[in-house]
Chain A
Amino acid sequence: KQEVTQIPAALSVPEGENLVLNCSFTDSAIYNLQWFRQDPGKGLTSLLLIQSSQREQTSGRLNASLDKSSGRSTLYIAASQPGDSATYLCAVSGWETSGSRLTFGEGTQLTVNP
């Protein structure tokens, strides 16, 4: 059974700092990995999707890397801003017959202080 772990559980940084969030998964036979953002009491916003054949994806100040063989992904946020404060979730999709069945980590709660 796939298990996803995110470290740290919570992180507080001053504005402008670069930071790294970590995600690990136990079964390397994944199809892809997605990073999401969740604001308090809200749904999930997809940030980046990395296919298993890819090493990284970038969107603006965000960069996600994937090392499938070691079961790890990182989300790098450059020049953090107070608006980046949220919970960041990592999820993996396996080689299912159809659709996108995601196994999630518990998330990293990020606070960026002005």
Chain B
Amino acid sequence: ETGVTQTPRHLVMGMTNKKSLKCEQHLGHNAMYWYKQSAKKPLELMFVYSLEERVENNSVPSRFSPECPNSSHLFLHLHTLQPEDSALYLCASSQESVGTEAFFGQGTRLTVV
């Protein structure tokens, strides 16, 4: 158990659907992140939340909408996705201090059909 829990583990959705990915951390951290892992590509940082404020959005399309209601929870709301958005979405957390160790969840395997 890594202390970072993601649900669901697997998700299949149509291009017109709306769904949400959930991440919860039990490590007392105050920074949370969404990463995308596509086949044959390195993990890419999507969003950064520090002290519950979004501090980074790495040119992610608006069909991905993050939400961080408190320091323990992070959501990724999905709507009108494309098949190329199919990937493993990983949540991570760390302390807000620069360069602290990051801990990852098990990921949500998303398939867009």
Contacts A104-B43, A106-B42: A99 and B50 contacting too (C-beta < 8 A)? yes
Name B's A-contacting residues (CB within 8 A). 2, 4, 6, 31, 33, 35, 40-43, 45, 48, 50, 55-56, 88, 90, 92, 94, 96-107, 109
Query: What are the residues of chain A within 8 A of B55 when measuring CB–CB?
Result: 97-99
The secondary-structure label for the interface of chain A is: strand
Residue of B nearest to A105 (CB): B42
Judged by a CB distance under 8 angstroms, whether A102 is at the interface is yes
Task: Decide: A4 and B102 in contact? CB cutoff 8 A.
Answer: no
Query: What are the residues of chain B within 8 A of A101 when measuring CB–CB?
Result: 33, 45, 48, 56
Contacts A4-B42, A43-B2, A89-B43: A100 and B107 contacting too (C-beta < 8 A)? no
Query: What are the residues of chain B within 8 A of A104 when measuring CB–CB?
Result: 42-43
Binds B, one of A10-18, A44-52, A62-70, A71-79: A44-52
Number of chain A residues whose Cβ lies closer than 8 Å to a Cβ of chain B? 29
12 A-B pairs within 8 Å (CB atoms) are namely A36-B104, A46-B103, A46-B104, A96-B99, A98-B50, A98-B55, A98-B96, A101-B56, A102-B102, A103-B42, A103-B45, A106-B41
Residue of B nearest to A31 (CB): B99
Judged by a CB distance under 8 angstroms, whether A61 is at the interface is no
Task: Decide: B107 and A31 in contact? CB cutoff 8 A.
Answer: no
Query: What are the residues of chain B within 8 A of A34 when measuring CB–CB?
Result: 101-102
Query: What are the residues of chain A within 8 A of B31 when measuring CB–CB?
Result: 98-100
Nearest-CB distance from B8 to chain A (Å)? 13
Query: What are the residues of chain B within 8 A of A93 when measuring CB–CB?
Result: 98-99
Judged by a CB distance under 8 angstroms, whether A80 is at the interface is no
**Bound complex: CA A34 to CA B100 (Å):** 10
Name the residue in B35, B43, B92 with the highest tally of chain A Cβ atoms < 10 Å from its Cβ.
Answer: B43
